[in-house]
Amino acid sequence: MNWKTKWIEKKWDILTSEKFWDNVIGASFKITVILIASWLAVRLGKKIIKKAFLIRMRSPLNHSERRQRTIARLLQSVISYVVYFSAIIAILSVLHIKVAGLLAGAGIVGLAIGFGAQSLVKDVITGFFIIFEDQFGVGDYIKINAAEGTVVEIGLRTTKINGSTGEQFIIPNGSIGEVINYSINNSKIFIDLQMTIDADFEKAEVLVREYLGSLQESHKELVAVPTFLGVQNVKGKEVTIRIAAETLPQQQYGVARTIRRDVTKLFEEHNIPMA
């Protein structure tokens, strides 16, 4: 009997031994319990954080809803990382892999990689200051370089933005430069309408002012009554009149469409010609 046959018989004895299968079944059971417990811990932790921040936002204190949503999402991500990392360590221990030696080796490798991971460090530091300074939050409509849309997630390393046509931008925090945030201050818009030069401007002004005065009651997104600014430009046989409106953040477009539609209909009903 050669050494290959002996080696095969030895391995076969191990695989068919009762002790081996007891260890396999025991380890499988422990790993299953660890995975289920980790999933439940993450799910429960996220719910607790969400509930806690909902209560915090409903409190009479002046907490920024944007900031609270952002911090809540970040804490939920941190919980996932911590729990799943702990689960991996526990599974390795169940498989009798020396975790201490593995972590020591990983520390040495990590130190070597760290010298070349300056961009990662920059991403994390920038992400921390974005959250700490409340530059923008989850739900804000912002523009970063060519990316424009609604912020759906802010992590310590990346920021995710959903564009208006469905695309998602994933931007490393370290590459974020100038940020335009459209969701902090009230939005303002100017609505221009063209009339013919022979129109009755006094009648048009009275109608528009009367209409604008009643608009705020039916449109809660308006901060103040829109203002009729009068004639802004005369070009050939066309006269441009302008209306200014101030709304809650990102609500100006719907209000502008409504005003254009209603004023056009109003002029048609009173025989005021438009260009």
Same domain, 30 and 46: yes
Domain assignment present for residue 274? The answer is: no
CA distance 110 to 138: 32
Average pLDDT of the segment spanning 229-239: 84
Same domain, 12 and 93: yes
Mention every residue, 6+ apart, whose C-beta is less than 8 A from residue 168.
152, 160, 161, 162
Q: Distance of alpha carbon 145 from its chain centroid, rounded?
A: 17
Using a pLDDT cut of 90, give the percent of the chain over it: 3
CATH code for position 73: 1.10.287.1260
User: What order do you get walking across the sheet with 238-247 strand by strand?
Assistant: 187-196, 238-247, 227-235
In three-state secondary structure terms, 144 is strand
pLDDT of residue 61: 44
Same domain, 34 and 137: no
Same domain, 125 and 109: no
Higher pLDDT, 112 or 207: 207
Mention every residue, 6+ apart, whose C-beta is less than 8 A from residue 215.
222, 225, 226, 259
Domain assignment present for residue 31? The answer is: yes
Same domain, 195 and 169: no
pLDDT at 132 over 80: no
Residue at a domain's end among 114, 141, 170: 114
CA distance 214 to 258: 13
- pLDDT band, very low/low/confident/very high, at 27 (cuts 50, 70, 90): confident
Same domain, 145 and 218: no
Residue at a domain's end among 157, 181, 205: 181
Question: Longest Cα pair distance anywhere in the chain, in angstroms?
Answer: 114
- 228 touches 208 (CB < 8 A): yes
Residue at a domain's end among 161, 181, 201: 181
E strand residue ranges, 21-174: 141-144, 147-154, 158-162, 168-172
Note the pLDDT tens digit of each residue in 166-180.
Answer: 899 999 888 888 888
- Torsions phi, psi of 35, nearest 5? -65, -45
In three-state secondary structure terms, 105 is helix
Same domain, 239 and 264: yes
Per the document, the length of the chain is 275
Q: Determine the structural domain holding residue 241 and report its residue range.
A: 187-269
- Domain total for the chain? 3
Domain assignment present for residue 42? The answer is: yes
Using alpha carbons, select from 134, 135, 137, 161 the residue that is nearest to residue 150. 161
Average pLDDT of the segment spanning 251-264: 88
- 189's enclosing H/E stretch is strand 187-196
Higher pLDDT, 36 or 64: 36
pLDDT of residue 3: 59
Same domain, 169 and 205: no
Domain assignment present for residue 32? The answer is: yes
CATH code for position 139: 2.30.30.60
CA distance 101 to 89: 12
Same domain, 88 and 123: no
